[in-house]
Structure 1
Amino acid sequence: MMKAETIEPAIQACFCEIHTKLKEAEKIARAARACADAGSISEAIQVSMNIEQLVYEVGRLHDAACLLARNATIGEGG
């Protein structure tokens, strides 16, 4: 097991990056919605394609945070 004080900053960094990527995905989704609302469905689809990679990366970052937490002694008294 790894010590919590070693792992916690890495987990925090993962969640910070997750937050950043999700905010970026939200901006893309808003742009795609604006295109769709304006009647340009094909443009909306094209714009939305940029979300896929962000969602993939968020998933991997979440997997990493969970793996780190499983290998830490967080909440177990050190």
Structure 2
Amino acid sequence: MDTAAINETIKLFLVEITTKLNEAVRIARAAEACVVAGSVAEGIEVSMEIEQLLYDAGRLHDAVTMMHRLTRS
């Protein structure tokens, strides 16, 4: 097993997780701004965009942890 290649892939996945979570934070702030401005329904609608980003980040994290376990075997 090529540990260097796996480690590079892990690095790329962690960068992608960071990107997705930063986008989720941006959306959450926009949703919060809607609610603070008095539009709760719009805030909820905006916040719905977060779900896919969190799902994707979670699956990438699953892959990262699996690859890490493989390098320790």
Normalising TM by the smaller chain, what interval?
over 0.9
1:30-63 deviation digits (Å, cap 9, x = unpaired) = 0000000001000000000000000000000000
Higher fraction of helix = 2
Q: Give distance in 2, aligned partners of 1:52 and 1:9.
A: 27
Equivalent residue letter for 1:51: I
State the percentage of identical aligned residues. Answer: 51
Runs of 4+ in 1 over 3 A off after TM superposition: none
Q: Distance in 2 between matches of 1:64 and 1:21?
A: 15
TM-score, scaled relative to structure 2: 0.95
* Stretches of structure 1 lacking an aligned partner (at least 5 in a row): none
Q: Separation in 2 of the partners of 1:6 and 1:28?
A: 33
Amino acid in structure 2 at the alignment position of 1:61 = L
Give the TM-score of the pair, scaled to structure 1: 0.89
- Greater Rg over alpha carbons, structure: 1
The one-letter amino acid of 2:28's match is A
In structure 2, runs of 5+ residues without a counterpart are none
Q: After superposition, where does 1:18-37 map in structure 2 within 5 Å?
A: 18-37=17-36
Distance in 2, Cα, partners of 1:10 & 1:72? 12
